[in-house]
Structure 1
Amino acid sequence: MPHEFILKNARIILDNEVLAGSVLVRDGEIADISEGSTAAGEDMEGDFLTPGLIELHTDHLEGHYAPRPKVRWNPIAAVQAHDAQIAASGITTVFDALRVGLDDEAEVGVEDMRVLADAISDGMKSNRLRAEHFLHLRCEVSAPDCLEAFSLLEGYDRVRMASLMDHAPGQRQFTDPETYRVYYMRKMKVSEEEFRLYCERRMAQSQRNSAANRAAISQACRARDIVLASHDDATVAHVGEAVEQGIRVAEFPTTLTAAEASKQAGLSVLMGAPNVVRGGSHSGNVSARELAENGCLDILSSDYIPFSLMQSAFFLSDVVDRISLPQAMRLVSKNSAEAVGLDDRGEIAVGKRADLVRVRVDDHVPLIKTVWRQGARVI
């Protein structure tokens, strides 16, 4: 006997329209979508039904595992706490970002990342997790230990994505040097002289390590079919380098010029959902809304606030005239799935996985009522 149920009286966010109707779920997949009312089924009371969201780059897990300096939480508990918040935010597929390469600000190292990778893998195997979790390796190519750390993590079977980043001073994240100085001096609580020495050390590391590490990691990822992402591209030259390295996703470009060049090169442009909600970048770079208005935005990531993903989709459709709600929803579901080759999910369509979210919007803020992954209720 097949397991099936009907969700009726919903506003269903499809690929190109919002349909008032019902969805039939059978054995974990969407079996039918029909317009109008039906007698049978669970009443959605006119709430929205969205695809399960797909998160490609979140740093959220690390804060659960290392919530204070020198504190390490039980990794299984940390992963489960992170997973619960992810699922409650409507995210049914998540790529958890793990550090690869230790910069001077980080207290956690590669052994901590292996502990978390093991906890995620075990959680998936034992069916303890609500969302489906993959691994995203955040490769700090300027770090001396980057390649060694990458070699210890690349073999995990849940690794599907890697990003190449260089956070050394004078590199990509901060286009304004003064903004960089203010941000890091406050973050690290150091004097002007200590900050000057830090910058000199990090710039020297970048000059020694970045080019070789970029080349080695991009080659390894192409061989293993791991999706490659660039990070904080600022110039046309940066984008050209990304194309040569086989990059498929341009994460957080810092300028409109870089975003436009990425689009022209066929890369998927990813920006932060908190950037959308806040109205700008905390680093003083180009805003995600500006990229959306210029047709240069493909994917949104919750980055450090899981709930911002659903919030940004509804918010963006309200504030940008050229973006409808179905278009905004593609930024957090279908486009993300396509960028990483997950063609079984990302939209409400017959034959796709029944990853679904019931959402009610109250005073312009979405309220997530229920979440299903492959037809099983997880929230």
Structure 2
Amino acid sequence: MTGRTLARPRTDSVLGMAALLGLLGLAGWAFAALSINVATLIDSGRNAADFAARMLPLDFPTAGELLRLTGQTMSIVICATLLSVVLSTGLAVLAAGNTAPHRGARFGARTVIVAARAVPDVVLATVFFRLFGFGALAGVLAMGLHSVGMVGKLYADAVEQIDEGPREAMRAGGAGRGSWWPACCRRCCPRSWRPRCTGWTSTCGSRSSSASWVSTGSAAPSRPAADRVCAGHPRSGAGDRVRGDHRARCGRRGARAGRRCCRAARQARRGLRGRGRPGCRGRAARHGIENEQLPRPGAELPIEFALLSFEGKLRAAGVTTVFHGISFEDTHHDIPRSVGQAEKTCEAIDAYTGGLVDHRILYRLDVRSPEALSALARRLDQVPDGALVSHEDHTPGQGQYAVREHYERYLMGSRGMSDAEAREHVDQLIADRDGRLDIREEALVWLAARSARIRLLGHDPSSAAEIAELRDRGCAVAEFPTTIEAAEAARAHGLPVVIGAPNILRGRSHNGNASGRDLVGRGLVTALVSDYLPSGLLAAAMLLAEQGLATLPAAIGLVTAGPAEVAGLPDRGRLEPGLRADFVLVEPRRPWPVVRSVLSSWGVW
């Protein structure tokens, strides 16, 4: 659609001249009708001189009486100003286009404001004198209601001029369609509005004081207050609740993690973050470096670049601590894993510096690999105690692939095998690994002896009996229990239970094992981990909260405090004084949340 610029009106046209002459004629008629002429002006001058002669000299009251009347005047001014501010605040929220609940309310509020501004305060005072008699009450009502016309308009304009950031923050702050008014009362004073309101209120007080002669006959102008800075804070999931206007003191130097989170927004809904959006603690992830280093078969990338590239994905997902799952095993599936590759990756992670994410290692031991057992023993002798170690046995027919058909279907999908080829491959794999049962027993004995110096995770337990064995072995965590029975037994023994975020997102396990949502609904899960998908952590937590399987604080805790407990890291995962300042600002969009910013002790992104 194209627009057309209107031509400037011509003042020298016949129509323009006719209009001008018409206005001049009307002005002449008005003067004549009102009998305004030179003689009238002279008579009025005589009246003014007579009035001045009777008024002078001025007769001032005593000093005490003057102070009393001045105090009475200021009292009326203060009460009138307070009345106008209280009434104007509510009217401003109703009159502003971005906070009015509907058009009718906005039209009504605007009408009241215009009417209050249109009626002079002297007229209002006359009306109230007839209603309440002479006294301070009539003056307070007259000046207060008349000032609503100015203050209400200025406040409404200020609300409409609030920047979009705080407005989005209020939408993300949890306010619903029917809760706009309480939200406005609590949050509609961002730093861009309060200083203006302070100055306008002072102006209103000054204006009221100059009009207070109606009731007391004296005046004293007030001084505008200085501007000041107001700070607000985002909602945050902390501990066992979601905190509003939360200011988290974090970091060794006491840095405060938080930004303004206050703007009333119509139809606001969601639960923080940046610029007032909901916030949560930095999250932990595991796995993923293998896929980053080998994006497709035969296209292996340098491990240093893979770490840098993977960190970008972690930061985008709001992950501040990552445990790279390094597999000490000899591959028996399509992902090429070897003991030598594991050692090189560990060395690369040790040498990786300057990142904004805390890179750590989860050592994954194939208990049926003698080379892996020897290599891991050497590695653990070189690192401090407390290393995270997961021991696993992925032999089809047990654990993760208790039903071997699931592994066969995996082979058919990933390698293009036929049904017969997949069955033959699995038969050969089982026979080969059954020949290493003695190595498995040796590894389990070694892990039990080493458990006091490491944090041991039991991978894919499938029964209460296996949980009891893990507990006897010194295991501290049940990782990916495949059945409800195993998860219940783990919690009964006081073990944290870990589930993968993809399981939550899909609603079921990819190989027929226990559903993560079912386990969460039963209260059996204490932590979610990325399981190759860092971006799935926050999405899974929000999904659990939205479906009512967990409260929002509990769901956020599954990806923050929960993983920190699993990893044995008491210095992070919670918003408490003295802990690491890892804070993620999130916009919980539908259907999936978006990370807007991360404030970490390692940096801000």
Aligned equivalent of 2:375: 149
The answer to whether residue 575 in structure 2 is matched with residue 345 in structure 1 is: no
Which among 134, 139, 149 is matched to residue 360 of structure 2?
134
CA shift for structure 1 position 266: 1.3
Q: Which range moves more in the overlay, 180-189 or 88-97?
A: 180-189
Which among 389, 409, 412 is matched to residue 182 of structure 1?
409
Maintained 8 Å contact 2:501/2:529 = yes
The answer to whether residue 425 in structure 2 is matched with residue 195 in structure 1 is: no
Maintained 8 Å contact 2:365/2:389 = yes
Aligned equivalent of 2:175: none
Aligned equivalent of 2:343: 114
Higher strand share: 1
Query: Which letter does structure 1 place at the counterpart of 2:503?
Result: N
The answer to whether residue 454 in structure 2 is matched with residue 219 in structure 1 is: no
1:28-74 CA deviation, whole Å, 9 max, x = no partner? Answer: 46566899989xxxx9433011100022xx22001111223233211
Matches within 5 A, 1:1-379: 8-23=232-247, 25=249, 27-28=251-252, 44-55=274-285, 58-105=286-333, 106-123=335-352, 126=353, 128-157=354-383, 160-210=387-437, 211-219=440-448, 221-223=450-452, 225-321=453-549, 323-374=550-601, 376-377=603-604, 379=605
CA shift for structure 1 position 142: 2.5
Q: Given the two structures, how large is their TM-score scaled by the length of structure 1?
A: 0.87
CA shift for structure 1 position 288: 0.5
Q: Which range moves more in the overlay, 19-28 or 344-353?
A: 19-28
Provide the C-alpha distance between the structure 2 equivalents of 1:187 and 1:37, rounded to a whole number of angstroms.
48
Aligned equivalent of 2:57: none
CA shift for structure 1 position 156: 4.9
Q: What secondary structure does 2:236 align onto?
A: strand
1:57-110 CA deviation, whole Å, 9 max, x = no partner? Answer: x22001111223233211111111111211221111111101111132142312
Larger Rg: 2
Maintained 8 Å contact 1:185/1:191 = yes
1:130-164 CA deviation, whole Å, 9 max, x = no partner? Answer: 21011111112133533133234334537821111
Change (3 A) 1:54 1:200: same
Provide the C-alpha distance between the structure 2 equivalents of 1:7 and 1:334, rounded to a whole number of angstroms.
28
Provide the C-alpha distance between the structure 1 equivalents of 2:509 and 2:392, rounded to a whole number of angstroms.
17
Maintained 8 Å contact 1:24/1:30 = no
Query: Which letter does structure 2 place at the counterpart of 1:103?
Result: T
CA shift for structure 1 position 300: 0.4
Q: Please report the RMSD computed on the Cα atoms of aligned residues, expressed in angstroms.
A: 2.6
Query: Which letter does structure 2 place at the counterpart of 1:92?
Result: T
Q: Given the two structures, how large is their TM-score scaled by the length of structure 2?
A: 0.56
Provide the C-alpha distance between the structure 2 equivalents of 1:36 and 1:45, rounded to a whole number of angstroms.
6
CA shift for structure 1 position 202: 2.6
Maintained 8 Å contact 2:412/2:418 = yes
Q: Which range moves more in the overlay, 100-109 or 278-287?
A: 100-109
CA shift for structure 1 position 319: 1.0
Provide the C-alpha distance between the structure 1 equivalents of 2:520 and 2:398, rounded to a whole number of angstroms.
25
Query: Which letter does structure 2 place at the counterpart of 1:117?
Result: C
Higher helix share: 2
Provide the C-alpha distance between the structure 2 equivalents of 1:308 and 1:62, rounded to a whole number of angstroms.
17
Provide the C-alpha distance between the structure 2 equivalents of 1:29 and 1:65, rounded to a whole number of angstroms.
37
Maintained 8 Å contact 1:29/1:354 = no
Query: Which letter does structure 2 place at the counterpart of 1:189?
Result: G
Query: Which letter does structure 1 place at the counterpart of 2:594?
Result: L
Maintained 8 Å contact 1:142/1:208 = no
Q: Which runs of 5+ in 2 are unaligned?
A: 1-229, 263-272
Query: Which letter does structure 1 place at the counterpart of 2:240?
Result: N
Q: What secondary structure does 1:69 align onto?
A: coil
Change (3 A) 1:193 1:357: same
Query: Which letter does structure 2 place at the counterpart of 1:209?
Result: R
1:231-281 CA deviation, whole Å, 9 max, x = no partner? Answer: 111112211221111111111111111111111111111001111111111
CA shift for structure 1 position 187: 2.3
Query: Which letter does structure 2 place at the counterpart of 1:361?
Result: P
1:189-219 CA deviation, whole Å, 9 max, x = no partner? Answer: 3344543443233323443435324424413
Maintained 8 Å contact 1:272/1:300 = yes
Maintained 8 Å contact 1:7/1:22 = no
Maintained 8 Å contact 2:236/2:242 = yes
Aligned equivalent of 1:3: none
Provide the C-alpha distance between the structure 1 equivalents of 2:558 and 2:478, rounded to a whole number of angstroms.
14
Change (3 A) 1:220 1:103: farther
